[in-house]
Amino acid sequence: MTDTIVLPSQGALTESDIDPTLDLHAEIDRLRKERNAVILAHYYQDGEIQDLADFVGDSLDLSRKAAATDADMIVFCGVRFMGEVAKILSPSKLVVIPDAAAGCSLEEACQPEAFKAFRDAHPDHLAVTYINCSAEVKALSDVIVTSSNAETIIRQLPADRPILFAPDRHLGAYMQKKTGRDMTLWPGSCIIHEQFSEKELVKLKVRHPQALVAAHPECPDSILTHADQVGSTRAILDFVLASEASEFIIATEQHIIHQMSKAAPHKTFIPAPGADGGCSCSNCPFMALNTLEKIYLCLKNDAPAITVPEELRLAALKPLERMLEMSKSVPMSGAAVNAA
């Protein structure tokens, strides 16, 4: 797979160089102004990072922000493929991510060579690919989707063309059910959404009979069948804020609850349980790699930086631009804008 990361050079600052008395919030703020940088953060980031970002959102809104920004530098607090998307859409900007190791289990589960063989074996199919994948897999796809625009986009595709959906089989199965389209699914899944336990969820519902369940479509069907609302992070956020209910069980990465609690402090949000009955399974280990210290360091070091070879960038740009074009009817989410 093409390496799209430039690591900090020798002699660059490291965590052990950071003065423990430094006010990291103030320093990040100073550097962001000095560097004309915009800090984008995904809803799955730690609350402290969400609060210092200029803009917090899902992949679709963050892609739109990255494409439109006039900043010189984008600090992408999420996982690597999100930084890649920002670089593909805004090649003249310096795009840095706090931790080069912030990958994604869905991306891992769909290697470009295997995906190419999958495509080659289904030459009459359109490849509709979830944004959680590498630049190379994007380049082999017809259109990219996120969980907030997948249905809108799939409904616009020619009805007589069968679809290959990769890499999340649960989102694919959910889309198949919603749209009735002929779809062949790649067998990938997200380690977080895969771990929720139906048995523990049922037990939790018994203990909280008034609670509504909001679940992400990356969850298996055994979880979705218990949901009052199935949707992307922003759809779940909109649902809990608009609902008259006061208690919710949230079946997605638990840091989205930060925005929920901020916007509706009087409501109760309970992370969906894993097999041990606890909620540690809903904490993405890749998203959790990002810290304030690493945000400070990437602003100082200009690294880890994303670099996408031009030929690959142009090939991946096409299905991403198609996504942005085909999801114009999906509005920006108004729920989580900080400074930008």
Collapsed DSSP state (helix, strand, coil) of residue 42: strand
Burial 62-89 (b: 16+ CB within 10 A, else e): bbbbbeebebebbbbbbbbbbbbbbbbb
By CB under 6 A, is residue 216 in contact with ligand CIZ? yes
Among 146, 195, 259, 301, the residue binding ligand CIZ under the rule CB under 6 A is: 146
Stretch that binds ligand CIZ, among 3-11, 140-148, 175-183, 200-208 (CB under 6 A): 140-148
* Alpha carbon distances (Å) from 114 to 1, 111, 124, 242, 314: 11, 6, 18, 43, 21
The two tokens of residue 104 are: 């994604």
Give me Rg for the CA atoms of the chain: 20
The two tokens of residue 98 are: 């706090």
Shortest Å, Cβ 42 to ligand CIZ? 6
By CB under 6 A, is residue 290 in contact with ligand CIZ? no
Stretch that binds ligand CIZ, among 143-151, 159-167, 194-202, 271-279 (CB under 6 A): 143-151
Nearer to ligand CIZ, 31 or 287 (CB): 287
Nearer to ligand CIZ, 185 or 284 (CB): 284
Nearer to ligand CIZ, 197 or 232 (CB): 232
Pick from 61, 50, 272, 286: which is nearest to 190 by CA? 286
Pick from 253, 288, 269: which is nearest to 46 by CA? 288
Q: Residues 89-128 vs ligand CIZ: string with x where CB under 6 A?
A: ----------------------------------------
Half-sphere exposure in the Cβ direction for 172 (13 Å, CA)? 25
Residue 6 identity: V
Among 233, 259, 290, 327, the residue binding ligand CIZ under the rule CB under 6 A is: 233
How do the residues of the chain divide into helix, strand and coil, expressed in percent and rounded to 5? 45, 15, 40
Question: Site size for ligand CIZ, by CB under 6 A?
Answer: 9
By CB under 6 A, is residue 327 in contact with ligand CIZ? no
By CB under 6 A, is residue 136 in contact with ligand CIZ? no
Binding residues for ligand CIZ restricted to 40-69, rule: CB under 6 A: 42, 58-59
Among 232, 282, 290, 327, the residue binding ligand CIZ under the rule CB under 6 A is: 232
By CB under 6 A, is residue 313 in contact with ligand CIZ? no
Distance between CA atoms of 213 and 252, rounded to whole angstroms?
11
Distance between CA atoms of 73 and 63, rounded to whole angstroms?
14
Nearer to ligand CIZ, 58 or 84 (CB): 58
**Residues of this chain that bind ligand CIZ (CB under 6 A):** 42, 58-59, 146-148, 216, 232-233
